[in-house]
Amino acid sequence: MRDTDPYGVGAGTSVVFRADCPSRPILDQIADKWSMMVMALLERPMRFNELKRRLEGVTQRVLTQTLRRLERNGMIRRKVLPTSPVGVEYSLTALGESLREPFGQLYRWTVEHGEEIQNCRRAYDGRTGA
C-alpha cells in the first residue's frame, strides 16, 4: 500500500478501510436510514413539515440533523422562501440525484429479499433463544 492511498485499498494490505479513510463519513451518511428516506421523498422540493409528516417516527431534532448533514455533504439544497412566516424548502442537488439509481437498486434488493431475511432472523432467534 502506498502512503498516499487515502482509502487503504492498495494491494498487499490487510486493512481495507483505514480509520481516517475519507469514505467513512460518506458511507455513514449514505447508509443512515433517515438520510435515505429523506432523499427518497425528495422527488420534488418539499418543506420541513411535509418531510416530517411523511417520515413516521422521526423526531424534529433527528430530521434537522439529517437535513444539515445532507446539505453539508452537497446532497440537498436548502432554500429560504420569502413567505410570512419564513419557509424553508429542501430539494436534491445534482449530486443527490446521482445517488437515486444506486439507492433504487438497494431498495429493490431489500424488497426482493425482505421475506428471506425475516425467515433467517426467525431461524437464528429460534436457535439462540433470542
pLDDT tens digit sequence for 7-33: 555 555 555 667 788 887 888 777 888
When pLDDT is cut at 50, 70 and 90, the band that residue 1 belongs to is: very low
pLDDT tens digit sequence for 86-113: 899 999 999 999 998 888 898 889 889 9
Rounded-to-integer distance, Cα 16 and Cα 8, Å:
5
Residue 73 vs residues 23, 25, 29, 41: alpha-carbon distances, Å: 12, 10, 9, 18
